[in-house]
Structure 1
Amino acid sequence: MKCFYVFFLFLITATAFSQEDAWVYFNAKPSSQTYLSNPSQMLSQRSLTRRINQNIALNLTDVPVEKSYITQIKSSAGITILAQSKWLNALHIRGTQAAILALKNFTFVDKVVFADRTLNPTSKKAFTNNITTIKNNLETKVDYAYGNAANQIQMLNGQVLHQQNYTGSGKVIAVLDAGFPGVNTAQPFQRLRDNNLILGGYDYVARNTNFYSGGSHGTLVLSTMGGYKENALIGTAPDASYYLFRTENDAIESPIEESLWVEAAEKADSLGVDIITTSLGYFLQFTNPNHNHTYSDMNGTTNFISLGAELAFSKGIIVVASAGNEGLMTEPHIGAPADAVSVIAVGSVTATKAKSGFSSVGPSFDGRIKPDVMAQGTAATVSDAAGNIGTANGTSFSCPIMAGMIACLWQAFPTKTNQEIRQMVFQSSDKYATPNINFGYGIPNFGASLGVENYTDVKNETFLVSPNPAKTEVSFSFSNKNNTASVVIYSILGQKMIEKQITSQNPILSLETLNSGLYFYTFDTNGLHKTGKIIKQ
């Protein structure tokens, strides 16, 4: 919903007195050594541990904006401070053009950038459509009673991770969105509440702690990851922990929302989150058209929010963003922050893996592959603020579905860096060798990323390797009760390590003789040949 305002134009110096949004950037951080010598003043221990685990050093971007600079800007005539960013060493301010330009007289000011590009462009949409009541439940063969959410998980082979208890436990996801009403009361979120998996949040729009407010878009988004209602909706990361940050104001489209997003991302970093998921995007349709972005801005280095998202990744966080819903529009390309180089931009497919018509396309303006990957965003199963289970359309939902699965994968590989996990997701995708502007690298296979194959042949015979990673033994389960299978385990150098015949009644293979590491297997039985990876812990 948007609010429309009527402006009365007066034949006086309107331009001189109109309020403009701008970013003022500073050229120094005089107190940096004090903070860098005492990092706990800037970051939580969990945040510092994430840096240590990924060999990421602290630097000047971690240091807060100089307080004396903020005080002097705040005291300047006609200037209001709306947000700040330590990563970009900048303040988002509002004032007359003349008052903003006067700030250049401060020796500590590096530059001033107006949101109105005619003075020196930005759009955002919450990528959501209609929600409709679901009348039929889907059958599922996995352990979780996914209900109607089965397809959006099984499409990614995510049930394989869940079956091995990789459900996001121990990973922390920050959701940056439009609001979260009902998360504190609705039944599908009760499991999150009962297990203290909502760690906190903040409403950056209203500047208060009531984050169970605002538009319900964030509620729908969260339900695809953390929702839990058996035989109706199970999220992709039901055991992850969540911070909920409201950064978008449904009533208007304003550049301040980009700055609030970056401010929230910085808070998420300081709290030690692992993943940021955001179903917001900025391109066209701002309340003031002069704030709109252009396609040429989608280069990963122009938009304030994209710069912030890239910095979040540099801190060891995985950032997942909706590609956008403009695929059928005159300007069909991905928006910001999906254009950022390291952000995982998620497009939408239907239940049958066809590209959703509305899903925005690539490439980025500088020719990079975008979107990066795809998940179900047409008729995705969600919960609304009242706890009603329904479907909704948009990359708003393919994005968090993907983010939840990434949390599960990272749980399975806790020593991997954010760069390594990101690359694992891409390499498991079905178009990795032949990416294109509609699908990017395609639809990931999270079971394959884990080294687990989950196979169903034309006769509906299933094949499963678990647990994986394994400590002492692994089971090669297959549904044909009469077959004997041959299993061979090879080292990464191709040396045969184990060869054994197993049966469907006794499918266990001991790994006691193997050292810890990565191995490959071949599995052969009548009509079925499979290969894959096994990790011995």
Structure 2
Amino acid sequence: MKKLIVLAILIAVQFSKAQTQHAWVYFTDKPNVTSALANPNTILTQKAIDRKNNHGVAIDERDVPVNESYITQVKMQTGITVKAKSKWFNCIHVLGNQTDIDNLLNLSFVSEIIYADRSLNTSSRSSAEANNARTEEKFETLVMFNYGNSGNQNQMINVHKLHELDYTGEGVTIAVMDSGFPNVNTMAAFQRLRDNGDLLDGYDFVDRTANIYAYIGNSHGTNVLSDMAGYVDGQFVGTAPDASYYLFRTEDVASETPLEESYWVEAAERADSLGIDVVNTSLGYSRFDESRYDYTTADMDGNTAFITKGANIAVEKGILVVNAAGNEGNDGTWGIVTAPADGDVFTIGAVNASGNYASFSSRGRTPNIPVKPDVVAQGAGVYVITSSGGIATSNGTSFSSPIMAGAMACMVQAFPNKTNLELMQIVRETGSTYSSPTIQLGHGIPDFEAAFQTLSNNTFSSTEKIQIYPNPAKAIVTIALPETTQHTKISLVNLLGKTLKAATTNNTFHQIDLSQLTTGMYIVRIEADGEIITKKIIKH
């Protein structure tokens, strides 16, 4: 009998070593770090550099790309497939059996290997940092806007008050990480977005293609995007209809593996390099197809999951990362937020149309320190635009998250010199339960009108007196300012954040010559009376 037991153990060990494993392979160094940091425009866009400088965020070694020659050498090793890479962690995500992966330690530039199946990490050159897991969030399928069906979800958080002041996300760039965006490039609901040049670009990290619309197997991303960017006159208005958007597919709905965490981190790194201001993620990670990769609720500590650690870096880099809390509220074996909602991100729970807690919304931990969710928005009976162009109701923190992300983009437009952390805090402080947070609602339903008034300390009047005409224009545009305005600084900025023209004036009228500029969209930035106002100009 003892021989049989030993034989069974040997077979089990051999089977384990033969299984395909997910692992992160970390490198020892990066090439040309000193040169890259001395010339940051070689590794980052100008918009990214300006955002970091504006918010006091250091450009450091994590911004330098991974050594491609190292990746090439790993790809040449027996049984190894490289699936993703991360410059922030200086690592790659590989697939292979345990023996072949362990053999990578023979490469001089490999510093450590961390398996997604954490029971294997005792045998690797590992720092013993636990990593991994993921479960896509379960999802169901005085500018005066006529919000139609979307009125309640906008008015609940008073973002419509920002819209009335022409804070609609203009000049702010949002990246959406999700599972698929079919028909966004053709639907009437996104025509306004396309006409304004605000549908910038995208990338499918799962299928490794720049054609973000090629995958039509899931439309969750289309629905999510609609709650920020959708516009159907008289029927539906998203919370940031004039923001600019990058679309990134990081979720593979066909499977649940740790690889999707690496896709997300890679997308976040690209977003940072592009100078993205806001990221929305309506995905969550906790359990996988293979239980050996599963997280536990104890792992939702804000610094265990690979995606959470990546999201924390994104926040550190100055990106305002907005994330759905998760739909695990009714799950008796889980119940709490999932990764990366457990980290430094702005975590959004869900309420119904009356503002009451939606039971499916994932709760905070006990003790709830730091408080999660951060705030809540409507996520039950919420209106979305489907990939067929229809307006329908759905449920999930998947949708309370983009509603909040769009509202935060309007705040970024209104207060571009405020950091992501400052904006998150001021919005928390307006929450309906800020003085007594709960695990269900966190700081509660925020009030964006109150947040605006706190930061601007004005009466919402000065922006109404600023006019720009003609717009669109071929040559000269005139900016009409309030008569009482003095020492007004006016800048013309392109979509990469580069200042093209700048002037200071005490006059009521100021003109800008667009005749030498290429056709497209530009941003006028006006600093006056302690306020910063941005407006869009179209050059024909």
- Same fold, TM-score > 0.5, yes or no: yes
Instruction: Tell me: CA distance 1:105–1:365, structure 2 relative to 1, closer, same or farther (3 Å).
Output: farther
The whole-number CA distance in structure 1 between the counterparts of 2:232 and 2:172 is 21
Structure-1 separation of matches of 2:13 and 2:37: 51
SS of the residue aligned with 2:175? Answer: strand
Provide the C-alpha distance between the structure 2 equivalents of 1:12 and 1:445, rounded to a whole number of angstroms: 57
Residue 511 of structure 1 and its aligned partner are, at CA, apart by 10
Are 2:467 and 1:467 aligned?
no
Tell me what 2:378 maps to.
Answer: 376
Counterpart AA for 1:58: I
The aligned counterpart of 1:201 is 202
Taking the TM superposition and a 5 Å limit, the aligned residue runs for 1:336-415 are 336-340=339-343, 342-363=344-365, 367-415=369-417
Map 1:219-238 onto structure 2 (within 5 A). 219-238=222-241
For 1:364 and 1:57, the matched residues in 2 are separated by: 34
Amino acid at match of 1:291: Y
Q: Name the SS of the counterpart of 2:120 in structure 1.
A: coil
Mapping of residues 43-442 of structure 1, within 5 Å: 43-120=44-121, 122-130=133-141, 143-212=144-213, 213-214=215-216, 215-284=218-287, 286-330=288-332, 331-340=334-343, 342-363=344-365, 367-442=369-444
Correspondences of 1:489-500 after superposition (within 5 Å): none
1:227, 1:383 within 8 Å by CA — same for their partners in 2? Answer: yes
Question: Residue type of the partner of 2:261?
Answer: E
SS of residue matched to 1:148:
helix
Q: Secondary structure at the match of 1:92?
A: strand
Instruction: For 1:227, give the aligned amino acid.
Output: G
Change (3 A) 1:82 1:230: same
Contact kept, 8 Å, 2:134 with 2:260, in 1: the verdict is: no
Residue 431 of structure 1 contacts residue 443 of structure 1 at CA under 8 Å; is this kept in 2? yes
Q: 1:255/1:293 Cα in 2 relative to 1: closer, same or farther (>3 Å)?
A: same
Q: Distance in 2 between matches of 1:444 and 1:263?
A: 31
Q: Which whole-Å CA distance do the structure 2 matches of 1:79 and 1:365 have between them?
A: 42
Contact 1:323–1:360 (CA under 8 A) maintained in structure 2: yes
After superposition, what is the alpha-carbon deviation per residue over 1:387-436, rounded to whole angstroms, capped at 9, x for unaligned? 00011100000000000000001111111111211111111212112111
The answer on whether the counterparts of 1:321 and 1:345 sit within 8 Å (CA) in structure 2 is yes
State the partner residue of 2:492.
none
| TM-aligned CA distance change 1:187 to 1:55, over 3 Å | same
Question: Do the aligned partners of 1:297 and 1:365 also contact (CA within 8 Å) in 2?
Answer: no
Note the residue ranges of structure 1 that are not aligned, 5 or more in a row.
Answer: 1-9, 131-140, 454-463, 473-509, 517-533
Q: What is the root-mean-square deviation in Å for CA atoms of aligned residues?
A: 2.4
Secondary structure of 1:432 counterpart = coil
Contact 2:173 2:244 in 1 (8 A): yes
Shift of 1:11: 9.2
C-alpha distance in structure 1 between counterparts of 2:462 and 2:138, whole Å: 36
Deviates more, 1:228-237 or 1:30-39: 30-39
1:242-301 deviation digits (Å, cap 9, x = unpaired):
0000011111111110000011111111111100000000012x1111111111111111
- In the alignment, what sits opposite 2:40? 39
Runs (4 or more) in structure 1 with deviation over 6 Å come to 469-472, 513-516
- CA drift at 1:78: 1.3
Q: 1:355 offset after TM fit, Å?
A: 0.5
Q: Is the 8 A contact 1:299 1:366 kept in 2?
A: no
2-structure distance, mates of 1:234, 1:40:
37
Letter paired with 1:334: V
- Return 171-180 or 75-84, whichever deviates more: 75-84
For the 8 Å contact 2:272–2:314, the answer to whether it is kept is yes
Partners in 2 of 1:466 and 1:36 — Cα distance?
Answer: 42
Residues 1:23 and 2:24 aligned together = yes
> What runs of 5+ residues in structure 2 fail to find an aligned partner?
1-10, 122-131, 467-481, 489-527, 532-540
Q: What amino acid sits opposite 1:229 in the alignment?
A: V
Q: Distance in 1 between matches of 2:110 and 2:397?
A: 39
- The percentage of counterpart residues that share the same residue type is 47
Structure 1 residues 364 and 103, CA, compared in 2 at 3 Å: closer, same or farther?
A: farther
Classify the secondary structure of the residue corresponding to 1:49: helix
Instruction: Tell whether the 8 Å contact from 2:116 to 2:293 is kept in structure 1 after alignment.
Output: yes
* Contact 1:51 1:315 (C-alpha < 8 Å) held by counterparts: yes
| Aligned-partner residue type, residue 221 of structure 2 | G
Greater shift, 114-123 or 295-304, is seen at 114-123
Distance 1:123 1:385, change over 3 A: same
SS in 2 for 1:396: helix
| Contact 1:334 1:364 (C-alpha < 8 Å) held by counterparts | no
Residue aligning to 1:482: none
SS in 2 for 1:362: coil
Is the Cα contact below 8 Å between 1:511 and 1:536 reproduced in 2? no
Letter in 1 for 2:374: D
**C-alpha distance in 1, partners of 2:12/2:309?**
39
1:167-212, CA deviations, whole angstroms, 9 ceiling, x for partnerless residues? Answer: 0000000000001001011111111111111000011111111211
* TM-score (normalizing by structure 1): 0.80
Deviation digits for residues 50-108 of structure 1 (CA, Å, limit 9, x no counterpart): 11111212111111112232122222221111000000111100111011112223333
CA distance in 2, matches of 1:225, 1:90: 33
Match of 1:503 in 2: none
SS state at 2:234 partner: coil
Q: 1:11 to 1:85 in 2, by over 3 A?
A: closer
- In 2: Cα distance, 1:365 partner to 1:21 partner: 32
CA contact 1:125–1:282 (8 Å) conserved in 2: yes
The 1-side partners of 2:371 and 2:106 are apart by: 42
Measured at CA, do residues 364 and 306 of structure 1 come closer, stay the same or move farther in structure 2, by a change above 3 Å? farther
Alpha-carbon contact 2:137-2:285 (below 8 Å) kept: no
Any conservation in 1 of the 2:364–2:439 contact (CA below 8 Å)?
Answer: yes
Maintained 8 Å contact 2:178/2:251: yes
Range that drifts further, 34-43 or 348-357 = 34-43
What letter is aligned with 1:21? H
